[in-house]
């Protein structure tokens, strides 16, 4: 349960991909349990008659707003609904959608949570820690790529069949949602340009 909570907190601003029911409900179960503890500590420390009571509770709530929204959007993606359906929270029925079972296999928002494709999807969509423009995906034929697990480490033994295999794996990743169309086009162009250098 704590693993799902920390995973949701780590992905506090990740609004793409999918979240399983276990991740969603574990996050909110830990959040509600911790909220009760924070409320009790806040009342014990600040008291209920002082005008600044509730400061700790307010800070705790503010820290969890963005991660809570992100995990709910990813949960909506898991049932193949747009994240914009989160606005149903305004009328109090948004959490009902989180009860629905997620789609089996990949859907338009990415691979099934917890699958091997999900790990690849996370690696491709991981934001760089350095500030600046997003790093363009690269295709290094001399290295074993996590996106292309069957690529050979040495360029000297690669031939046209290897290029075709790489392109097929890229197409499969795009079809499963592991790559966006833009990332696919960049990696395909890089593979083709290196293939023509042979």
Q: What is the pLDDT of residues 32-61, one digit of tens each?
A: 999 999 888 888 877 655 555 677 888 899
In 10 A of CB 97, how many CB atoms? 17
What is the predicted pLDDT for the residue at 109?
Answer: 86
- C-alpha span between 19 and 175 (Å, rounded): 19
Average pLDDT of the segment spanning 18-44? 90
Q: What are phi and psi of 148, to 5 degrees?
A: -125, 80
What is the predicted pLDDT for the residue at 129?
Answer: 46
What is the predicted pLDDT for the residue at 71?
Answer: 94
- Rg of the chain taking only CA atoms, in angstroms: 22
pLDDT category, 172, cuts 50, 70, 90? confident
65-74, 151-160, 163-172, 182-191: which is most confident: 65-74
- C-alpha span between 151 and 165 (Å, rounded): 8
Burial of 98 (0-12, 13-18, 19+ CB in 10 A): middle
- C-alpha span between 166 and 157 (Å, rounded): 14
Kindly tell me if the per-residue pLDDT of 154 is higher than 90.
Answer: no
State the pTM of this model.
Answer: 0.56
Q: What is the pLDDT of residues 93-142, one digit of tens each?
A: 888 888 888 888 888 888 888 765 545 555 555 554 444 444 444 444 44
Burial of 2 (0-12, 13-18, 19+ CB in 10 A): exposed
């Amino acid at each position: 349960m704590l693993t799902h909570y920390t995973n949701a907190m780590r992905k506090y601003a990740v609004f793409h991909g999918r979240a399983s029911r276990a991740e969603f409900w574990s996050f909110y179960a830990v959040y509600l349990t911790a909220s009760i503890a924070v409320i009790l500590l806040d009342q014990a420390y600040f008291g209920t008659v002082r005008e600044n009571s509730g400061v700790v509770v307010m800070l705790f709530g503010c820290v969890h707003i963005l991660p809570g929204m992100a995990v709910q959007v990813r949960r909506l993606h898991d049932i193949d609904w747009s994240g914009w359906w989160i606005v149903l929270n305004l009328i109090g029925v948004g959490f009902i959608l989180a009860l629905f079972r997620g789609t089996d296999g990949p859907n338009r928002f990415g691979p099934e949570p917890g699958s091997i494709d999900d790990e690849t999807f996370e690696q491709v969509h991981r934001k760089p820690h350095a500030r600046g423009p997003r790093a363009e995906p690269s295709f290094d034929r001399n290295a074993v790529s996590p996106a292309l697990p069957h690529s050979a480490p040495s360029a000297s033994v690669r031939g046209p069949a290897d290029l075709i295999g790489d392109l097929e794996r890229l197409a499969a990743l795009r079809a499963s949602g592991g790559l966006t169309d833009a990332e696919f086009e960049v990696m395909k162009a890089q593979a083709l340009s290196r293939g023509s250098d042979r």
